[in-house]
């Protein structure tokens, strides 16, 4: 889909309201917090990570490493995980997003997905590593979430792009 | 609209039009170039290092010293609305299920009602017996001037939230510091021990289930009084006895109840049932697998036990050692 890549490029100059960014992160936290159980818990993508990655790659000047870290702290409180566990993982995520943002804009969705997989794998690995250090055990099925999160990238960026497009059209 | 002339937007747009360097590492160019033209504060690498170190420091402090609990409960006030909101679809689903009670379900309800009524009558009879026995036992205890160990108050709580993390066996329940819940209190349902309160927020508290990895409960085999400790397995909803000698008197279907040793769990509450025993002469210990008696991941309502009588303080071990030393010295001097 080369057209999508082009559109993404031209739209980068379009303003995005802060409310939209905050709202999207809020909704992602909500989705992460739904009562997932059993197989669904294993398959659950990390919505917050994908949304943060989207903003880090599309608005790297406004949403960067610091904000990713702050959202990570919130995720730590919401998940009752150790303070800093999500924060560390999302810091790496933000760094990856900010570093790769220009490269991602050149790519189409399929190429983006491979790049995104790398960043998300790093994020998941950081989280799992901290858990392994603290408790000495590892749950390998945790990494399935990394795959589903990667699969979420394409639909999410198309949706966000469409929503931003519609806002711009209205104005 | 003056919006497009906000400097930030301009920078963003302009930055995206800077031609990419031909080298294969645009990362370095990116940071140095933008650093030169626009004052954006520290470079991404510096930020990465700063925030990573901050996270690691927080991890260390939280895991070792638990200094950050107050910050956590302050932030949880902000997060709690999201959590409440996230619990709404589940409860709505439950209510919708209640609305559409079909004919079939009605019959099932009536059967259930009948069964419950019978059970209630049975239980009532047994309860009367129990009360008589309690009175008797209290008299005996009074006679012996033994401290009462079996009295405790309970608080009914609702599970707001179940585990959201594949690593953990925890639930969040609907009462917290406002209802005087304290860390370490025992949580049970109507059939047995479910877990222990491990963290208290202003309006919620976190319960670690007995199936959490390495969570230990001191127990006794109901049949013969054998004392042991049951551990959570973590990745499954099972429990195991780790230090049961191969020759230990334990059988399948044995019920394990709390022994009351250590004073955290009250005495005689069912914990688990033995389902499998593997004895291998090559190992000193038998491998005993148990299933929790309580619906550890079934029910929505739980009881928190409070005001358990405190045990007399444990004598300090050092003192014992020094007294032995003293005795030895005295003996030597003799």
What CATH number corresponds to the domain at position A151?
Answer: 1.10.1760
Closest CB from A30, A78, A84 relative to B58: A84
Domain check: are B164 and B290 in the same one?
yes
Query: Is B125 within a domain?
Result: yes
Closest CB from A31, A88, A137 relative to B59: A88
Query: Is B171 within a domain?
Result: yes
User: Which band of pLDDT confidence, cut at 50, 70 and 90, is reported for residue A9?
Assistant: very low
ipTM of predicted assembly, 2 dp: 0.82
Mean predicted confidence (pLDDT) in A87-108: 90
Residues 37-66 of chain A with CB under 8 A from chain B are 37, 41-42, 59, 61-62, 64-66
Q: Which pLDDT tens digit goes with each residue over A124-167? A: 999 999 888 887 778 888 889 999 999 999 999 999 888 887 77
Closest CA to B302 of B202, B166, B199, B160: B160
* A102 chain-B contacts, CB cut-off 8 A: 16, 20, 26, 30
Angle CA A146–A149–A153, to nearest 5? 135
Domain check: are B58 and B133 in the same one?
yes
Domain check: are B144 and B173 in the same one?
no
Query: Is A8 within a domain?
Result: no
Look at chain B and report how many structural domains it folds into: 2
Domain check: are B129 and B170 in the same one?
no
Q: Which pLDDT tens digit goes with each residue over A61-81? A: 888 899 999 999 999 888 878
Mutation site, B9, B14, B51, interface A, largest A CB count within 10 A = B51
Token pair 């709580």 is found at: B157
Domain check: are B207 and B175 in the same one?
yes
Chain mean position to CA B89: 24
Query: Is A51 within a domain?
Result: yes
Query: Is A52 within a domain?
Result: yes
Q: How many CB pairs under 8 A join A and B?
A: 153
Query: Is B318 within a domain?
Result: no
Residue-level pLDDT at A89: 93
Residue B162 Rama label (left phi>0; alpha psi -120 to 50; beta): beta
Tokens matching residue B261? 């040793």
d(CA A87, CA B54): 9
Q: Which pLDDT tens digit goes with each residue over A34-63? A: 878 778 888 889 999 999 999 999 888 888
Domain check: are B168 and B108 in the same one?
no
Sequential pLDDT tens for chain B (334 residues): 334 444 444 344 444 444 444 444 444 444 444 444 555 677 888 889 999 999 999 888 888 887 777 888 888 888 888 888 888 887 787 777 777 666 677 888 888 899 999 988 888 888 888 888 888 787 677 666 544 445 677 788 888 777 666 667 788 888 888 888 888 888 888 778 888 998 888 888 888 888 888 888 999 988 888 889 999 887 667 888 888 888 788 888 888 988 888 778 888 888 899 998 888 878 888 888 898 888 766 667 788 888 776 767 777 766 555 555 555 555 555 5
Query: Is B169 within a domain?
Result: yes
Mutation site, B45, B55, B168, interface A, largest A CB count within 10 A = B55
State how far residue A166 is from chain B, nearest Cα, in angstroms.
Answer: 17
Domain check: are B172 and B141 in the same one?
no
Domain check: are B237 and B102 in the same one?
no
Look at chain A and report how many structural domains it folds into: 1
Beta bridge partners of B277: B288
> Where in the sequence is the domain holding A28, given as residue range(s)?
17-163
Exposed/middle/buried for B107, CB within 10 Å: 0-12, 13-18, 19+? Answer: exposed
CB B255 within 8 Å of CB B222 = yes
Domain check: are B124 and B192 in the same one?
no
Q: Which residues contact B109 (CB under 8 A, 6 or more apart)?
A: B101
Beta bridge partners of B208: B170, B196
Residue-level pLDDT at A47: 93
Domain check: are B298 and B181 in the same one?
yes
> Where in the sequence is the domain holding B112, given as residue range(s)?
46-149
Residue-level pLDDT at B165: 65
* A64 chain-B contacts, CB cut-off 8 A: 44, 47
Residue after which a domain boundary falls, among B149, B180, B199: B149
Tokens matching residue B290? 């148990």
Residue after which a domain boundary falls, among B104, B130, B149: B149
Mean predicted confidence (pLDDT) in A92-121: 90
Domain check: are B162 and B301 in the same one?
yes
Domain check: are B199 and B143 in the same one?
no
Residues 17-36 of chain A with CB under 8 A from chain B are 26, 29-36
Tokens matching residue B46? 């510096």
Nearest CA in chain A to B67: A83
d(CA B211, CA B236): 8
Query: Is A6 within a domain?
Result: no
3-class DSSP assignment, residue A51: helix
Query: Is A7 within a domain?
Result: no
Pairwise CB contact (< 8 Å): B75 & A73: yes
* B81 chain-A contacts, CB cut-off 8 A: none
The CATH number covering residue B296 comes to: 2.40.10.340
Chain mean position to CA B14: 52
The predicted model scores a pTM of: 0.58
């Amino acid at each position: 889909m080369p057209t999508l890549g082009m559109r993404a490029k031209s739209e980068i100059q379009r303003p995005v309201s802060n409310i939209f960014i905050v709202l999207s992160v809020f909704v992602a936290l909500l989705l992460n917090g739904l009562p997932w159980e059993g197989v669904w818990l294993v398959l659950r993508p990390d919505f917050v990570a994908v949304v943060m990655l989207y903003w880090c790659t599309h608005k790297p000047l406004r949403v960067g490493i610091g904000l990713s870290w702050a959202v990570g702290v919130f995720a730590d409180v919401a998940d009752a995980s150790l303070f800093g566990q999500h924060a560390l993982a999302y810091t790496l995520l933000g760094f990856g997003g900010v570093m790769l943002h220009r490269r991602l804009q050149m790519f189409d969705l399929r190429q983006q997905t491979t790049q995104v997989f790398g960043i998300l794998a790093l994020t998941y690995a950081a989280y799992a590593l901290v858990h392994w250090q603290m408790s000495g055990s590892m749950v390998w099925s945790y990494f399935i979430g990394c795959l589903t999160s990667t699969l979420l990238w394409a639909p999410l960026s198309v949706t966000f792009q469409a929503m931003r497009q519609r806002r711009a059209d209205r104005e | 609209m003056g919006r497009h002339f906000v400097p930030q937007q301009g920078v963003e747009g302009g930055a995206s039009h800077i031609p990419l360097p031909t080298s294969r590492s645009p990362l370095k160019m990116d940071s140095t170039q933008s650093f030169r033209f626009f004052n954006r504060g520290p470079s991404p690498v510096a930020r990465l290092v700063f925030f990573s170190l901050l996270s690691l420091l927080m991890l260390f402090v939280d895991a070792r010293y638990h200094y950050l609990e107050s910050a956590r409960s302050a932030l949880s006030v902000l997060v709690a609305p999201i959590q409440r909101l996230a619990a709404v679809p589940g409860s709505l689903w439950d209510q919708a299920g209640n609305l559409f009670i079909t004919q079939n379900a009605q019959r099932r309800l009536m059967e259930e009602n009948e069964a419950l009524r019978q059970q209630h009558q049975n239980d009532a009879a047994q309860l009367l017996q129990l009360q008589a026995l309690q009175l008797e036992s209290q008299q005996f205890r009074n006679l012996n001037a033994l401290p009462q160990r079996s009295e405790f108050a309970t608080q009914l709580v609702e599970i707001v939230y179940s585990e959201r993390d594949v690593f953990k066996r925890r639930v969040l329940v609907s009462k917290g510091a406002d209802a005087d819940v304290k860390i370490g209190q025992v949580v049970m349902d109507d059939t047995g021990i479910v877990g222990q309160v491990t963290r208290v927020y202003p309006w919620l508290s976190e319960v670690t289930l007995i199936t959490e990895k390495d969570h230990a409960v001191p127990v006794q085999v109901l049949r013969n009084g054998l004392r042991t400790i049951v551990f959570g397995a973590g990745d499954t909803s099972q429990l195991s006895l780790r230090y049961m000698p191969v020759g230990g008197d334990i059988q399948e279907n044995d019920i394990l109840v709390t022994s009351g040793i250590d004073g955290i769990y009250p005495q005689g509450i069912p914990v688990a049932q033995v389902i499998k025993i593997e004895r291998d002469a090559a190992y000193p210990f038998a491998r005993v697998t148990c299933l929790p008696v309580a619906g550890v991941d079934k029910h929505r309502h739980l009881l928190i036990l409070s005001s358990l009588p405190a045990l007399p303080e444990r004598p300090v071990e050092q003192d014992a050692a020094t007294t032995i030393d003293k005795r030895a010295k005295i003996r030597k001097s003799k």
